[in-house]
Amino acid sequence: MSEEVEAWMAAYENPQKSLVQKVREAILAADPRIGETIKWSTPTFAYKGNLASFNPRSKAHVSLLFHSGAKIEGEFPSLEGEGGMARTLKVRDEADLKAKSAEIKRVVKAWCDQRDAG
């Protein structure tokens, strides 16, 4: 976990803060290649390019924007959206995170594997 994101989290005020932290931990635990930084004023996960960023204004649920989500190879039913590029993942509560944890891990691993394949 980066000190930069730790500082952002410490200052973050949102009713979903605890769930944002748990989603963050799930993404970072999914693959050792994934890292995090602050980009666009929010935590962003990356490996050889930007994978996903939190929407820090979302208050009803945790929302992650997968910048190139449509291009990640595999079946990921929790990634919502249309078009050729971005997808969104919503996590409503801890039970929803538990239900989506395996898929989150597969998305992160698929991203990292694709980036390594060139």
Share of the chain above pLDDT 70, in %: 100
**Where is 90: in which H helix or E strand?**
strand 87-91
Q: Give the span between the Cα atoms of 39 and 50, in whole angstroms.
A: 9
Tell me the domain boundaries of the chain. Answer: 3-117
Rounded average pLDDT over 79-98: 97
Q: What is the pTM of this model?
A: 0.95
Determine the average pLDDT of the residues in 69-78: 96
Is it true that domain 3-117 has CATH number 3.40.50.620? no
Mean pLDDT in residue range 75-89: 96
Chain segment 20-44, per-residue pLDDT in tens? 999 999 999 999 999 999 999 999 9
Proportion of the chain above pLDDT 90, given as a percent: 98
Contacts of 70 (CB under 8 A, 6+ apart): 81, 83, 84, 85, 86, 87
